[in-house]
Structure 1
Amino acid sequence: MFEGKILLVDDQPVAAQDSIAALEHFAKPSQILFAGDAKAARQILDTEPVRLAFLDIEMPGGDGFSLAAYIEETHPGLPYVFLTGHADFALESYEYEPVDFLTKPVDIRRMERTFEKVRRRTDALRQEKIAVRSGADYLFLEPDQILYICKEKRKVHIHMKDGRVCQTSHTLEELERIFAEYHFFRCHQSFLAPLSNIRAAGASRFGQTYEAELEGGARIPVSRSRYGKLREKMEKLGISFLRGTGRKGETGQDGPHSDHRR
């Protein structure tokens, strides 16, 4: 079964139901999000952790091509598939970068090939190495081997899971853009970390600030202004924040002493 949320965009209710029925062979019904037009689709894309999108091409108020351009601009790396009842659109669609092109009504065996393409693409991304500047040279790093990135005394360091620390001449803002499709989160003005590495988040040991515990036990600060966004992103991935333990001064609501663990 596919892991993560799937967005289906189609303005035709009957065709949409057929596509949803086909998708349910590869994902749970709760994973499938539906939008009847491009505006509703953009709202879902901006608020939900969508991992794959199926886009109808012909729609009023914005076609699938404009929606694909929006995805490529604002959600780089998100795979999408074009859906249409007219195979003539196939050539035009490849001006974009879809994972696949499906004609309606969707054949389940043909959709199985689409999900296999998505899986291969995901595996390739996990193995991909990103070139990062280090002075006049380049470092080739695997995103899933990065523990966190931080700025220390005007220098930016990349901390690897194997203990290596690599200095880069990129700014933290540049690295935030480079690693956006790998779900890195800017939890503090000086720290950037992959969401997958975060094991717990909540109040620091002194209770006045926030911090995140990473894989291996490392701790990094979380800004008060970004703690809510971090919590939102982690909860969308299905990870719950626990209530506080009832220390003096707590209200019993999720707040400064909240903690989340896998």
Structure 2
Amino acid sequence: MITFAICDDEPLMARELAGHLAGYMKEKSTTDYSVSSFSNGCALLESGGSFDVIFLDIQMEQPDGMETAKLLRQRGDHSLLIFVTVLKECVFDSFQVEAFDYLLKPLDSVRFKQTMNRVLRSLEQRAAEDIVIQRGTGCEVVLLSDIVYCEVLGRKIYLHKSDGTVSDYYDKLEDLERRVDGRFFKCHRSYLVNLDYVRGCQDGQVLLSQGERIPASRLRERELTQALLRYMKERGI
């Protein structure tokens, strides 16, 4: 089930966007999806919903779309954010909240399909990316997208996840590094960090989206910044 949210204070625009979305999903013969509509940022934030994709208007009463996006990111939301607006000049602000794409009003059907093609590819990639860890006599499947950072203490690896839980198991950080993908960066000899959650690096510390800080080697700070910029560019952010 793919979950979409549309947040726009113009009912006609919200219906038009929903129509484009329905047409696209029908063309793809996909019926396993849902669409929730919200007339303002507060309604979206207060819904407590978890969405795969959020179409977000920028020009709304406070909190406007950009502020709503910032609040979503601050609480650890990793939805694919797609801004829909008439404001071309806001495109650079979208980098701050890791927007997936930026659509201009009036909607262009070709451009919309291109964006949606990328959305489906990204969601498929997310769903396929996980690791299986051995815990005692059992095992656990952990999505890479859920891992904020990995820490090694003694002979154990601790996977710190976005929901606040921690999974631990016996392994070497070097072996784990070979199993994860390019979104993970070794910022310290004892830490791997998921670049999706990095918000900055300063004075030997990596600032994470939920306010946590983990150590970064002084020699790796510049490399971390470069890796983050490359990663954002690859994702088209």
TM-score by length of 1: 0.49
Residue 4 of structure 2 aligns to a residue in which SS? strand
The structure-2 alpha-carbon separation of the partners of 1:98 and 1:160, relative to structure 1 and needing over 3 Å to count, comes to: same
1:25 to 19, 23, 26: 23
Pair 1:101–1:146, CA change in 2 (3 A): same
What amino acid is the match of 2:111? R
CA–CA separation in structure 1 for the residues paired with 2:119 and 2:45: 21
Q: 1:71-96 CA deviation, whole Å, 9 max, x = no partner?
A: 22224422110110222222222332
- Whether contact under 8 Å (1:6, 1:50) holds in the other structure is yes
1:1-262 to structure 2, matched below 5 A, reads 3-27=1-25, 31-44=34-47, 46=48, 48-126=49-127, 144-146=130-132, 159=139, 168-170=156-158, 175-177=160-162, 180=163
Q: CA deviation at 1:160?
A: 5.7
**Alignment CA distance shift 1:190-1:39 (3 Å):** same
Secondary structure in structure 2 of the residue aligned to 1:50: coil
Shift of 1:29: 10
State the one-letter code of the partner of 2:11: P
Aligned to 2:231: none
CA contact (8 A) 2:4 2:33 kept: no
Q: How many residues align?
A: 152
- TM-score, normalization: structure 2? 0.53
CA distance in 1, matches of 2:32, 2:125: 27
What's the RMSD between the two structures over aligned residues? 3.5
1:158 and 1:168 in contact (8 A); partners too: no
Give CA-to-partner distance per residue, 1:59-110, whole Å, 9 cap, x none.
1020111111122222442211011022222222233211100011212221
Please give the alpha-carbon distance, in whole angstroms, between the structure 2 residues aligned to 1:108 and 1:26.
Answer: 9
In structure 2, C-alpha distance between the alignment counterparts of 1:98 and 1:158, rounded to whole Å = 38
- Contact 2:2–2:33 (8 Å) recurs in 1: no
Q: Percent identity?
A: 19
Give 5+ residue unaligned stretches, structure 2.
26-30, 142-151, 169-237
Maintained 8 Å contact 1:4/1:49: no
Higher relative contact order (CA 8 A, sep 6+): 2
Q: Quickly say closer, same or farther: Cα 1:5–1:126, change in 2 above 3 A.
A: closer
Partner Cα distance (1:66, 1:123) in 2: 28
* Letter paired with 1:144: D
Aligned residue type for 2:54: A
